[in-house]
């Protein structure tokens, strides 16, 4: 069974600053990795995913994430955030070849200040 740890429950940052949201996972098999964003009172929206291939994946809204197998991490980054990036961000992992049902992290609240 897989598990996901999002190390920060809340990340405050000023507008136009860079940000990194951390995600670590554990699994005994190969994995698929995802980041989702949830804006207030909305459903989750897929930001990006790693299935295979290049370890650096680019997503929507200028976000990117890097899969690091040795450190079992999949951190999300953006070089310059906007006020509109204020939201809850969820990391998720699926075991490859299993049920594929993802396990979600507890979420990181990104708060962008003007």
Partner 1 sequence: DTAVSQTPKYLVTQMGNDKSIKCEQNLGHDTMYWYKQDSKKFLKIMFSYNNKELIINETVPNRFSPKSPDKAHLNLHINSLELGDSAVYFCASSQDSVNYGYTFGSGTRLTVV
Residue 37, exposed/middle/buried by CB under 10 A (0-12, 13-18, 19+)?
buried
Give yes or no for a contact between 98 and 29, defined as CB atoms under 8 angstroms apart. yes
Residue 10, exposed/middle/buried by CB under 10 A (0-12, 13-18, 19+)?
exposed
Binding of residue 83 to partner 1 (CB under 8 A): no
Site for partner 1 in 3-42 (CB under 8 A): 32, 34, 36, 38, 41-42
Tokens of 82: 């906007």
Total chain residues near partner 1 (CB under 8 A): 22
Binding of residue 45 to partner 1 (CB under 8 A): yes
Binding of residue 55 to partner 1 (CB under 8 A): no
Q: Contact positions toward partner 1, by CB under 8 A?
A: 32, 34, 36, 38, 41-46, 49, 51, 88, 90, 94, 99-102, 104, 106-107
């Amino acid at each position: 069974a897989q598990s996901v740890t999002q190390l920060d429950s809340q990340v405050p940052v000023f507008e136009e600053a860079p940000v990194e949201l951390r995600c670590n996972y554990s699994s005994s098999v190969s994995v698929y990795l995802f980041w989702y964003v949830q804006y207030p009172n909305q459903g989750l929206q897929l930001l990006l995913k790693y299935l295979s291939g290049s370890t650096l994946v680019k997503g929507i809204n200028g976000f990117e994430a890097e899969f690091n197998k040795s450190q079992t991490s999949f951190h999300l980054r953006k070089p310059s955030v906007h006020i509109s990036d204020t939201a809850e961000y969820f990391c998720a992992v699926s075991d490859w070849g299993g049920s594929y049902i993802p396990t979600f992290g507890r979420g990181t609240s990104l708060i962008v200040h003007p």
